[in-house]
Structure 1
Amino acid sequence: MNEVDVARFEELAALEHEFEDVEEEIIRQAEALQGPLYKKRADFVTKIPHFWSLVFEQAPPEIDNFIQPTDSKVFAECLDTFEVSRIELNDPNGSPRSFSLKFGFTDNEYFEDKVLEKKFWFRKTKDWQGLVSEPVKINWKKDKDLTGGLTDAAYKLGEMRKKLATDTANGVARKEEAKTKEYKNLAKKIETATDASVSFFGLFSFVSGYRWVSAQESAQAAKEEKERFEKIRRGEKVDDEDEAEDEEDPQDYQEIEVFPGGDEVATILAEDMWPNAIKYYKSTFDEDEDDEELSDLDVMDASDDDDDDEQEPVDIRALVGKGRKSEQEPPSKKQRKA
């Protein structure tokens, strides 16, 4: 690029940054308007048995692909509440894009926790921005860990990182972390895990689609970015020497990522399933009409499926019907095909 093209490119980047600022303000205003409605909805759905179980039963493919049959059973029998909150909405040093996912459970045979909360912070570096999170400990009951020890291993590595105050922006510190027994143990467990064993609950171990980025590193990157774009808007020349000195980092951060793509799953939960929960719930009952229109071919396909040795997906509506009065029974659902 010549100097004119570079200048125009920088101006476009500055304009894009302004759009991002506006989008963040839209999030703040939306939360102010929708907050009371979410509270009203929460109060109302407490009167509807298994509301959130049925919502998750209708999850879009991006979510449903990660929900294993045993996960479906847990959701059906003991998922009691679900809540999304913007944890840095009014924090001048934070971002309204940061949020938490809070799942409430009744007693179950798998874990002791009544509440599992996963927080996602929107962070930046010089060349990346996105969601990061800390592994959450799940107190699994004996021999009931649906993740095969992955959540425990990820949590131990996260605690080790806190204890050592590892600066993940420092290449030397990252190399030292990779030598620890916690790092090696988690990497080994991930390497030997099979796709079929990846439980939705692995999401609670998600760290980043890039690497862990601390609040301090993010704040510094945001400050430098702001100063840079202010210079561009004033028509001043920007010094790119620091960027030219950056060396390529050979480390594979995803080697210790239990749930790759967890940021995308979390975003769908927060920005789609949470605000549209009523629509997802209603779609459960709308499928009644589809069930009545099954063709002979569909019936034959279903018969063929009975011969498969693979474990069939769990029909949540059949499970949540346990103990209901007849007028509360959800409609039966057509069996999903693999």
Structure 2
Amino acid sequence: MNEEEEKRLSNTLAELAKCEQAMGDAEKDVEIYRIKKTQNIYAQRREITKAVPKFWYIVLAENDSFGEYIRVEDFKYLECITDIYVHYDVAEDSDEARYRDFSISFTFSDESGLVPSQVVTKKFKVDVVDGEEDLTSEPVDVQWPEELLDICPSKVKEQKKGETFSASEKKRYRQGMKTLFAWFDWTGKRPAKEFKGGDELTRLIVEDLFPNSVKYYVEAINNDQESEVSSSEGEELDVSDDEEQEDEPQKKKQKV
């Protein structure tokens, strides 16, 4: 390749780079537009779903993927979740440099005292590293259920008072790290030392459960109704069979 050909190739590659940059800018503008257009709609939907009994419990409990991230014993606490909301600051903020950043708010409300009533908002930062989105967060205070305080990682640390963990303390610590409440302490900066799969659970909430919550709720309700109908039809069929069996001897007696 001579000097002139190298120059043409260099110019061509520069033009391609400009196109890629323009494409990236266009995708950013589209995403910001989507966020700003949908945030108010989600806010309106939020007020409606608050009035639906056990809305978020049904959405979360019926989702197989969500169940993979928490202990089976924690499912009863899902009934105390009355609201989950994802908010992007760029929806109101003119600073579009951090348009990917968002927060997730959980509202716990339980008159029985199973979980302390509280609103917990966890903020997340999204940076692009080597072409991949890197998700990080900061720990946020959350009041654990009283019956789980024995395995709460922060409580276990306090009790050891600088001494080496005993086998039972390690077990309790690991159990606590598997609960939904440990997710609020997840940072994404300490692999293998905090809530496992914190980034995956976060993305599941933001990208699937939150935007598609109504769809999952309706599917769960329809499945329950279909199960009830099938059960009722089965019962009617059984009764019919019994009646026919009871009538059969009577018919034979009449013939005799």
TM-score tier after normalising by the smaller chain length: 0.5 to 0.7
Match of 1:248 in 2: none
* Structure with bigger gyration radius: 2
Match of 2:83 in 1: 81
Distance verdict in 2 for CA 1:83–1:292, change over 3 Å: same
> How far, CA to CA, are the matches of 1:28 and 1:121 in structure 2?
16
Matched, 1:104 2:107: yes
Distance verdict in 2 for CA 1:259–1:91, change over 3 Å: farther
Kindly indicate which of the two structures has a greater share of residues assigned to strand: 2
How large is the RMSD of aligned CA atoms in angstroms?
Answer: 3.9
> How far, CA to CA, are the matches of 1:71 and 1:92 in structure 2?
39
> How far, CA to CA, are the matches of 1:75 and 1:275 in structure 2?
18
Matched, 1:28 2:8: no
> What TM-score does the superposition give when structure 1 sets the normalisation length?
0.52
> What TM-score does the superposition give when structure 2 sets the normalisation length?
0.66
Matched, 1:201 2:181: yes
Q: CA deviation at 1:202?
A: 2.1
Match of 1:117 in 2: 121
Q: CA deviation at 1:123?
A: 2.5
**8 A contact 2:77–2:115 mirrored in 1:** no
**8 A contact 2:84–2:107 mirrored in 1:** yes
> How far, CA to CA, are the matches of 2:23 and 2:155 in structure 1?
40
Q: Helix, strand or coil: the match of 1:145?
A: helix
Q: Helix, strand or coil: the match of 2:103?
A: strand
The residue identity in structure 1 corresponding to 2:99 is P
> How far, CA to CA, are the matches of 1:58 and 1:139 in structure 2?
25
Distance verdict in 2 for CA 1:9–1:287, change over 3 Å: farther
Distance verdict in 2 for CA 1:141–1:123, change over 3 Å: same
Note the 1:113-192 alignment, pairs <5 A: 113-124=117-128, 129-140=133-144, 142-145=146-149, 148-150=151-153
Distance verdict in 2 for CA 1:33–1:91, change over 3 Å: closer
> How far, CA to CA, are the matches of 1:194 and 1:34 in structure 2?
39
**8 A contact 2:156–2:173 mirrored in 1:** no
Distance verdict in 2 for CA 1:16–1:203, change over 3 Å: farther
Q: CA deviation at 1:292?
A: 6.1
Q: CA deviation at 1:27?
A: 2.2
Distance verdict in 2 for CA 1:98–1:13, change over 3 Å: farther
**8 A contact 1:138–1:152 mirrored in 2:** no
Q: CA deviation at 1:39?
A: 2.1
